[in-house]
């Protein structure tokens, strides 16, 4: 299998099957990574993982993976470094990956103490393109763009390969057309990962979207009593809010990004409680 995507570096398509949909609490049980290489070749890796917790029946009924299927699988921590190396130097792509797969994967890497930063990676979400252009789900996208039935949906390998095929078809179908990004800007659809990233990326500071960038380019909270307020203002006026978040059930990535903002505040000499 080959592709026609124009790439400067590998684009790693991946899909997760998990114990649930809570990115802070749930765990990976199956992951497939399909790397689309700049020369048109495709390299893949699939790994079954023991989640360290029972798989809820309602989740098993969706993806077909039960406790017995993972009883002899390794924990994520034991495969994390190899997986990170396989995805090293790659941009990332998936279906609903910006909202779910990437945040959960980053959480797993953080728990395993394996570095996997996405700051310098382009993130392409084929679902976002699909919903912008033809609002439906992966099975419908596969039927619409590839004119094929998606047999074995909700299996990591099947869904990952289908997502690659869908994005490949989207690029061919919409090349030269104009799409409106979330920021309201018109974007000309091109076979270019930078363009695909700009079209599908969000304004989140952290992957869970607890902190976002407002229309002035400032970091603001996106939940609770401080929603819409500048993070720096809240940290200066209510320092205990930082401690509350660090002790709360927030994703590790959210706590990391909040800590980065707080450290930047101190390094810039901003006053906290009237002190510098």
Q: Per-residue confidence at 268, pLDDT binned at 50, 70, 90? A: confident
Residue 180 in domain: no
Mean pLDDT of 194-205: 86
Q: Are residues 161 and 62 in the same domain?
A: yes
Residue 179 in domain: no
In this prediction, residue 274 carries a pLDDT of 45
Residue 196 contacts by C-beta under 8 Å, 6 or more apart in sequence?
122, 124, 129, 167, 171
C-alpha distance from residue 23 to each of 33, 53, 94, 102, 228 (Å) = 19, 15, 16, 9, 23
Residue 215 contacts by C-beta under 8 Å, 6 or more apart in sequence?
none
What range defines the domain where residue 149 resides? 11-172
| pLDDT of residue 273 exceeding 60 | no
Q: Using one digit for the tens of pLDDT, what is the confidence trace for 87-141?
A: 999 999 999 999 999 999 999 999 999 999 898 999 999 999 988 887 678 988 9
**Residue 220 — φ and ψ, nearest 5°?**
-130, 155
Residue 206 in domain: no
Q: Using one digit for the tens of pLDDT, what is the confidence trace for 48-78?
A: 999 999 999 989 988 999 999 999 999 999 9
Residue 114 contacts by C-beta under 8 Å, 6 or more apart in sequence?
80, 81, 84
Q: Are residues 248 and 144 in the same domain?
A: no
Q: Using one digit for the tens of pLDDT, what is the confidence trace for 144-187?
A: 899 998 887 778 999 999 999 999 999 999 999 988 776 667 88
Residue 146 in domain: yes
Which of 145, 172, 199 marks a domain boundary? 172
Q: Are residues 118 and 245 in the same domain?
A: no
Q: Are residues 218 and 168 in the same domain?
A: no
Query: In this structure, what token pair is assigned to residue 5?
Result: 């995507």
- 254: burial class by Cβ within 10 Å (0-12, 13-18, 19+)? buried
Residue 191 in domain: no
| Domain containing residue 117: CATH number | 3.30.420.10
In this prediction, residue 184 carries a pLDDT of 67
Q: Are residues 33 and 124 in the same domain?
A: yes
Judge whether 245 and 222 are in contact, CB under 8 Å.
Answer: no
In this prediction, residue 258 carries a pLDDT of 97
Residue 196 in domain: no
- Count the domains in the chain: 2
| pLDDT of residue 143 exceeding 80 | yes
Q: Are residues 140 and 244 in the same domain?
A: no
Q: Are residues 86 and 157 in the same domain?
A: yes
Q: Per-residue confidence at 271, pLDDT binned at 50, 70, 90? A: very low
In this prediction, residue 88 carries a pLDDT of 96
Which of 172, 197, 220 marks a domain boundary? 172
In this prediction, residue 135 carries a pLDDT of 63
Per DSSP, the residues of 193-213 read HHHHHHHH---BSSTTSSEEE
Residue 181 in domain: no
Residue 203 in domain: no
Q: Are residues 60 and 107 in the same domain?
A: yes
Q: Are residues 15 and 133 in the same domain?
A: yes
DSSP 52: S
Q: Are residues 56 and 145 in the same domain?
A: yes
DSSP 99: I
Mean pLDDT (the chain, rounded): 91
In this prediction, residue 275 carries a pLDDT of 47
In this prediction, residue 270 carries a pLDDT of 55
Q: Are residues 59 and 155 in the same domain?
A: yes
In this prediction, residue 267 carries a pLDDT of 84
Q: Are residues 242 and 106 in the same domain?
A: no
In this prediction, residue 1 carries a pLDDT of 80
CA–CA dist 154, 21 (Å, integer) = 14
């Amino acid at each position: 299998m080959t592709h026609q995507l124009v790439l400067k570096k590998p684009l790693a398509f991946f899909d997760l099957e998990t114990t649930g949909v809570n990115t802070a609490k749930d765990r990976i049980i199956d992951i497939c990574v399909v790397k689309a290489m700049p020369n048109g070749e495709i390299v893949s890796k699939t790994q079954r993982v023991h989640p360290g917790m029972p798989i809820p029946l309602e989740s098993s009924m969706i993806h077909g993976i039960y406790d017995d299927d993972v009883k002899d699988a390794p924990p994520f921590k034991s495969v994390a470094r190899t997986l990170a190396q396989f995805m090293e130097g790659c941009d990332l792509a998936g279906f609903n990956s910006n909202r779910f797969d990437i945040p959960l994967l980053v959480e797993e890497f953080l728990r395993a103490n394996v570095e996997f930063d996405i700051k310098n990676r382009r993130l392409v979400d084929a679902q976002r393109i699909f919903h912008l252009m033809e609002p439906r789900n992966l099975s419908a996208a596969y039927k619409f763009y590839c004119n094929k039935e998606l047999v074995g949906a909700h299996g990591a390998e099947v869904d990952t390969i289908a997502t690659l095929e869908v994005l490949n078809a989207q690029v061919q179908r919409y090349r030269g057309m104009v799409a409106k990004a979330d920021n309201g800007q018109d974007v000309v659809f091109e076979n270019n990962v930078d363009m695909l990233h700009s079209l599908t990326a969000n304004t989140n500071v952290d992957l869970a979207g607890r902190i976002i960038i407002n229309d002035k380019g400032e970091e603001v909270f996106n939940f609770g009593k401080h929603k819409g307020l500048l993070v720096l203002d809240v940290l200066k006026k209510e320092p205990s809010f930082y401690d509350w978040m660090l002790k709360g059930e927030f994703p590790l990535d959210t706590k990391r990004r909040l800590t980065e903002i707080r450290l930047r505040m101190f390094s810039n000499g901003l006053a906290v409680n009237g002190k510098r």
